[in-house]
Structure 1
Amino acid sequence: MLDQQALRVRRLDHVLLAMAAGGEAEARKFYQGILGIPEAVKPLELAPRGGLWLEDGELKVHLGVEQNSAQARELF
């Protein structure tokens, strides 16, 4: 079992990451379920592009869909 406090992000301003189309459910499992970052509502003009915005105060992680995204290899 993972220690939620050990995984808590302490400080991060803004990060924009690429994700594969249709990966929102998996992203929610990780960013909300494991890291505990709540989902934010994307602006209406950006919502049709897919992706996911997660924000908690100054912490902002935005995931944008990249059509030709290749899954990264695990490093551990």
Structure 2
Amino acid sequence: MSTETLRHTLAYIRSLNPRPGLAFEQKAPHYIKPDAVIRKEHGDFVLMMMDAYLPKVVVNEEYSNTAPIYLRI
């Protein structure tokens, strides 16, 4: 193969789309986020809950004051 042919071939390869499937699907990828992660730290296994992905729950203060004492936060 000549140097010129190699140069044209490399130029053609570089012009190709590395993700041709994106032309058919426009949605962003949906990544699954784990609820928990297990890591090994200092020889022990540690379970870490990934609560950053959980929704924040807020109780209305007026409702909380009317709830029975055992239900109060």
Category of TM-score, reference length = shorter chain: under 0.3
Give the TM-score, by structure 2 length: 0.16
Give the TM-score, by structure 1 length: 0.16
- Larger RCO of the pair (alpha carbons < 8 Å, separation 6+): 1
Counting helix residues as a fraction of each chain, which structure ranks higher? 2
